[in-house]
Chains A and B, each alone.
Chain A
């Protein structure tokens, strides 16, 4: 099925461990995004990639890195996980950065850092 696929769906990390969240889309979209969702705070943008080969910081980039591996894939890396990074992470994509197109979201990765 066409859409945005995120892996893994669930993950538990110990403080200080690292991991990479994977995201892939098969809609030939140019732009991709990583958001985190926390109770009472809505969705906050971590990083985005307007097109293949470019990445930029969003509202809450500290503690994260990203890689736009190719047009389809956009990964989010936590180098040294902290309890404050416990959250649900969503990847999204859009045809272009022009927001009129709206975003297509993946089903999320629920991350717990203990």
Chain B
């Protein structure tokens, strides 16, 4: 079974600074990988996803993520954070196949200081 770890529970960055949120997965082959964002009181919104091809994936709101097979990682990055990026971010993993479901990490809460 697949699993995903987000080692950082809470991260604080200054507005305009760069951001990297870590995600490590466990799966025997190349999984499907996702990043979702949850604003307070809201549901989860898909930022980006990876399942094959170019290992650097572009998403919405200026986010990108890089799949590194050797490190079993799928870290989320943004070059310059905006105050509106404050939210909780979830990494998710799914095994290729018609019967698979997404497994979510425990989330990283991002705080942005002005």
Question: Per-position contact with A for B35-67: 1 when CB-CB < 8 Å, else 0?
Answer: 010000111111001010000000000000000
Q: Which of B13-21, B70-78, B99-107 contacts A (4 or more CB under 8 A)?
A: B99-107
Q: B84 interface residue, CB < 8 Å from A?
A: no
| A48 lies within 8 A of B43 (CB) | no
In residues 43-64 of chain A, which contact B (Cβ within 8 Å)? 43-45, 48, 50, 58
Q: A33-B101, A40-B9, A48-B101 are in contact. Are A90 and B46 (CB under 8 A)?
A: no
| A99 lies within 8 A of B43 (CB) | no
By the criterion of a CB under 8 Å from any partner CB, how many residues of chain B are at the interface? 27
Q: B79 interface residue, CB < 8 Å from A?
A: no
- Cross-interface CB contact of B105 among A33, A42, A92, A103, cutoff 8 Å: A42
By the criterion of a CB under 8 Å from any partner CB, how many residues of chain A are at the interface? 26
A40 to B108, CA, bound (A): 9
| B34 lies within 8 A of A98 (CB) | no
A82 to B100, CA, bound (A): 30
| B96 lies within 8 A of A100 (CB) | yes
| A42 lies within 8 A of B90 (CB) | yes
- Cross-interface CB contact of A97 among B9, B100, B104, cutoff 8 Å: B100
Q: A42-B107, A43-B104, A100-B51 are in contact. Are A107 and B99 (CB under 8 A)?
A: no
CB distance from A4 to the nearest CB of B (A): 7
| A98 lies within 8 A of B43 (CB) | no
- Cross-interface CB contact of B94 among A58, A99, A105, A108, cutoff 8 Å: A99
Q: B86 interface residue, CB < 8 Å from A?
A: no
CB-defined A-B contacts under 8 Å, sample of 15: A41-B106, A43-B104, A45-B101, A50-B99, A96-B98, A97-B98, A98-B98, A99-B102, A100-B51, A102-B34, A102-B49, A103-B44, A104-B46, A105-B45, A106-B43
Q: Chain B interface (Cβ within 8 Å of chain A)?
A: 9, 32, 34, 36, 41-46, 49, 51, 90, 94-107
